[in-house]
Chains A and B, each alone.
Chain A
Amino acid sequence: MSELLRRGTRLLALALLGLCANAALAVPWTVQVRDATGHPLADAVVAVLVRGKPARTTTAKAEMGQFNRQFTPQLLVVQTGTEVSFPNRDSVRHQVYSFSPIKVFELKLYSGTSSAPQVFDKPGVAALACNIHDRMHANIVVVDTPLFATTDASGTAHLDLPAGEHVLEYWHEQMKGAALQSQPLNVGESAGTTLLTIAE
């Protein structure tokens, strides 16, 4: 009987330990973004900087394609250090460029090809355009964390965060300038919501 009790207790302890390891990223957090008039704001980028988590990646890869004379996607969020390729899946040539200080480049992209990928190694926002097609626009938002999300049509983004005192960074195309805004974010033991208003 006592042997069973002993084994049971040990199993329970191991199970609890397992739960504790996962508790590192166990707190569901919601960010609700709205504009100055109170309407939900879609396509807002939110990112959480966590002390001790590596800011840069050396392995992440992402894609900024071109199709139907438009960028796909038009909003791409990546962690600093991500390698971004630019596959041209269109039937026409594109000349993709950025003058944004965090990444200046120009790529002649023949239809059906992809040139050498660009590493986005500085945080901030890069605005992309095409030298041939006037209406092609996209933004690549680079953040110093792997914890990021984009708000949906209801202005909501969900993240799983560790408990602690962090920094919340955010950006939307409506904001003037290419810098993310930031504010402190305290995450307790239980789920919570941050309400953000992004004015122009």
Chain B
Amino acid sequence: MNWQLFRITPLATCLALAACASPPEGSLYARLGGQPVVSVVVQRTIDRAAHDPRTQRSFDGIKLATVEASITQQICAISGGGCQYEGETMAKSHHDLHIRPSEFDALVDILREELDAAQVAPGAKNDLLELLAPMKRDIVTAS
């Protein structure tokens, strides 16, 4: 048996699909629950953020479904789910919105709550938040 081929095939399969039904075993994406869980968590987070007085400002005029799909793809990509992120960079997409630290932090709070509500394991939750934290630098441009 070709051991190397065995390891590469699932990844190749995932790369071929936009959203993986069965993500690479052991990946953070898999530990989060894969596409079914991540897409629902993102959808609930963004829907809440778009109506929460602390964060709604920057979602004004935005088609939520498009943003939700893009973020889900982004999380899949950074958590080893095998997706290719096709969206805009965090710097470019937030530059003209002048996001404040309080707005960023409020969104992370909402995300945390939805990860809990989806019963994502604390370890996986924390690993994801650690991966997302460096994005604050590019997203927050106001004080």
Residue ranges of A at the interface with B (Cβ–Cβ < 8 Å): 69, 91-93, 95, 111, 130-135
Nearest B residue to A112 via CB reads: B92
Question: Does B133 reach chain A (CB closer than 8 Å)?
Answer: no
Bound complex: CA A59 to CA B38 (Å): 50
Q: How many B residues touch A, CB cutoff 8 Å?
A: 10
Stretch at the interface among B2-10, B58-66, B73-81, B107-115: B58-66
Contact A111 B62 (CB under 8 A): no
Q: B70: nearest residue on chain A (CB-CB)?
A: A132
CB distance from A144 to the nearest CB of B (A): 34
Which residue from chain A places its CB closest to the CB of B63 in the assembled complex? A134
Q: State in angstroms the CA–CA spacing of A131 and B87 once bound together.
A: 13
Known: A69-B61, A92-B88, A93-B88. A132 touches B67 (CB 8 A): yes
CB distance from B60 to the nearest CB of A (A): 9
Chain A residues with CB below 8 A from B119, complex form: none
- Interchain residue pairs A-B with the least CB separation, the first 7: A135-B61, A93-B88, A134-B61, A132-B66, A131-B66, A134-B63, A91-B96
Known pairs A91-B92, A92-B93, A134-B62; list 11 more (Cβ under 8 Å). A93-B88, A93-B92, A93-B93, A111-B92, A131-B63, A131-B66, A132-B62, A133-B61, A133-B62, A133-B63, A134-B63
Q: Which of chain B's residues have a CB closer than 8 A to the CB of A130?
A: 63
Residues of B within 8 A of A111 (CB): 88, 92
Which applies to chain A's interface (DSSP): helix, strand, loop or mixed?
A: loop
B88 contacts A95, C-beta separation under 8 Å: no
Contacts of B100 in A (CB 8 A): none
Interface residue? B95 (CB, 8 A):
yes
Please give the distance in Å from B75's CB to the nearest CB on chain A: 18
> Chain A residues with Cβ under 8 A from B67's Cβ?
132
Are A95 and B66 within 8 A (Cβ)? yes
Among A69, A92, A132, A135, point to the contact of B92 (Cβ < 8 A): A92
Mark each residue of chain B from 95 to 136: 1 if its CB lies under 8 Å from any CB of chain A, else 0.
110000000000000000000000000000000000000000
Taking the closest CB of chain B, its distance from the CB of A47, in whole angstroms, is 33
CB distance from A46 to the nearest CB of B (A): 32
Are B95 and A132 closer than 8 Å at their CB atoms? no
Q: Name the A residues within 8 Å of B66 (CB-CB).
A: 95, 131-132
Q: Across the interface, which residues of A come within 8 angstroms of B88, CB to CB?
A: 92-93, 111
In the complex, what residue of chain B is closest to A132 when comparing beta carbons? Answer: B66
CA distance A47 to B88 in the complex (A): 41
For A130, give the chain B residue with the smallest CB separation: B63
